[in-house]
Amino acid sequence: MPDTRPSPVPPGDFDERFDVVVAGFGFAGAAAAIEAADSGASVLLLEKMPDPGGISICSGGGVRIVTDIERGRRYLRQTVGPDIPDDVLDAVCEGMADLEPYFRRLAEANGATIAIRDRGGNYPFEGHDALGILEVSDIPGFDAGREYPHVRGRALGPNVFRLVHDNVRARGIEVRLETAAERLITGPDGALRGLSVRTGAGAPRRIAARRAVVLATGGFEANGEMQRKHWQIRPVLTAATRGNTGDGIRMAQALGADVWHMWHFHGTYGFRHPDPDYPFGLRVKRLPDWNPTVTEPTVAMSWIILDGGGRRFMNEYHPYLQDTGHRPLDQFDPATQRFPKIPAFLVTDEAGRQLYPLGQAVLNDRAVEPYQWSADNLKEVENGILKRADSVEDLARLLGADPTVLSASLDEWNATVASGGPDVLGRPTPSMRPVATPPFYVGEIWPLVNNTQGGPVHDAAQRVLNTYREPIPRLFEAGELGSIWGFLYLGAGNLGECFATGRIAGRNAAALPAWDAVEDADAAA
């Protein structure tokens, strides 16, 4: 792990100089770099991985927008939690309200088609219908599989990334891949002057950021040590990237940054790959989200989840399963010193096995061969992700459960399905289907992190704040690094936030006077 302590150097001791240096080339970093360049700054955009995109490119590609600022703000207040100041929430909300014209300007670079979808929030809070989704539905001549063959995700994430990628290219912004930001550099007075970077296995280089540094390095999905410091639940499988190791958090903390909601991560439940060296978990099938009292699921879920004792203990189909699906697994038993729901067990029957693939790989990593889940789930039976049981007794043996308890659980579930509900654990009725026709299939289920939300505290200008809530001069952040989502995530909210906060950070970073010009003026005086 790189040493991220600040490195004091004399002001003239730099290898290169740029006005603004942005660390991280996902959506937030790209938005910050574009905004800073459009404000007249010279910009360097760094990415530690061999390919840009981070987890941004793996996303569904829906960018959350606000269609009514006042009502949308009321909804967001219910989801971000109590610790986000009003002015910070206002800035992000207003930024999300401005994304449609912003994207239409970006689309001039490559002729992309911008579409707006009427899709409200995930929960029935006031203002849930004051939100929408922006999509880059088409780019002439663009083939995601050809241009980004290493990416596995959902359909439109690569479209959004190609749009920002083309805009970075159109502005001539210098991009350096496989170049990690390792330490922030301060002057003799302790003020931020730039950062130390390393390309591959080469020697570190000192880059002056004459106006500011913008950290857009994402979270700590791939940093087990940092997770153990802040999360009770363990183990948690990483979904999509090995690049997000908390670098920006450590660098900011080295300058005194405070942090918020480090406990909160956007996660679900999923499968382990049969190869223990495979670095990613495999998500369960993505089913449509639903909103209690507003909309109901339109697709049946083919499985139930049981603990090792053969009992159902959770609603398998949360309104936004990709955000909160892991939370029911977070139960620690002091008497046994175990997390008794980890692993849990996904169980379906023969009809459910034939319904659709139960899992999928989501990743951005050219060094990893993407796992291809089979259409009929039979490859997964062969490789051990799923195990087959020809009877309830066989299924009980696989779980290590009492057959009587397991049989009662299945009988109760199937009776609930037959009666049309309601389910005592809150599973929505349209999603329910029986698990009754042998053979049965069972797979271990583990907590899985899609992305983290915690990080350095920031103000409405995206300035990083210290533990006294004072701005750390010339240090900004954007995107999922220190995200506003402190309690519940808004579907597509990170994407909207990446662009809203990236623009704010880039604009404000570029507006600062260059520190070397200020020092020269002071010396002349």
Q: What is the pLDDT of residues 105-117, one digit of tens each?
A: 999 999 999 999 9
Position 6 pLDDT exceeds 90: no
User: What is the DSSP secondary structure assignment for residue 371, as one 8-state letter?
Assistant: P
Q: What is the mean pLDDT of residues 400-405?
A: 98
Q: What is the mean pLDDT of residues 245-261?
A: 98
Average pLDDT, whole number, for the chain? Answer: 95
Q: What is the mean pLDDT of residues 404-413?
A: 99
pTM listed for this prediction: 0.95
Position 423 pLDDT exceeds 90: yes
Query: Domains along the chain?
Result: 7-221+242-264+453-524 (3.50.50.60), 267-449 (3.90.700.10)
pLDDT tens column, 33-61: 999 999 999 999 999 999 999 999 999 99
Position 521 pLDDT exceeds 80: no
Instruction: Identify the helix (H) or strand (E) that includes residue 380.
Output: helix 378-383
Q: Which residue, 53, 58, 62, 63, is CA-closest to 30? A: 53
Q: What is the mean pLDDT of residues 455-475?
A: 98
Q: What is the mean pLDDT of residues 416-429?
A: 97
Position 524 pLDDT exceeds 80: no
Q: What is the mean pLDDT of residues 126-132?
A: 97
Whether 502 and 98 have beta carbons less than 8 Å apart is answered as no
Q: Which residue, 306, 273, 253, is CA-closest to 457? A: 253
pLDDT tens column, 150-172: 888 777 999 999 999 999 999 99
Position 522 pLDDT exceeds 70: no
Q: Which residue, 230, 284, 267, is CA-closest to 445? A: 284
282/149: higher pLDDT: 282
188/326: higher pLDDT: 326
**How do strand 359-360 and strand 237-238 relate by DSSP bridges?**
unpaired
pLDDT tens column, 434-446: 999 999 999 999 9
Q: What was the pLDDT predicted at 8?
A: 64
Q: What is the mean pLDDT of residues 183-201?
A: 95
Q: What is the mean pLDDT of residues 190-197?
A: 96
- The band of 189, judged by pLDDT with boundaries at 50, 70 and 90, is confident
- The band of 5, judged by pLDDT with boundaries at 50, 70 and 90, is low
- The band of 523, judged by pLDDT with boundaries at 50, 70 and 90, is low
Instruction: Convert 275-287 to b/e letters by CB count within 10 Å (16 or more is b).
Output: eeeeebbbbbbeb
Q: What was the pLDDT predicted at 293?
A: 85
Q: Where are the beta strands (DSSP E) in 67-177?
A: 113-117, 131-138, 151-152, 174-176
| Whole-number percent of the chain with pLDDT over 90 | 90
CA dist., res. 273 & res. 283, Å (int): 10
Q: What was the pLDDT predicted at 11?
A: 54
Neighbours of 54 (CB within 10 A): 32
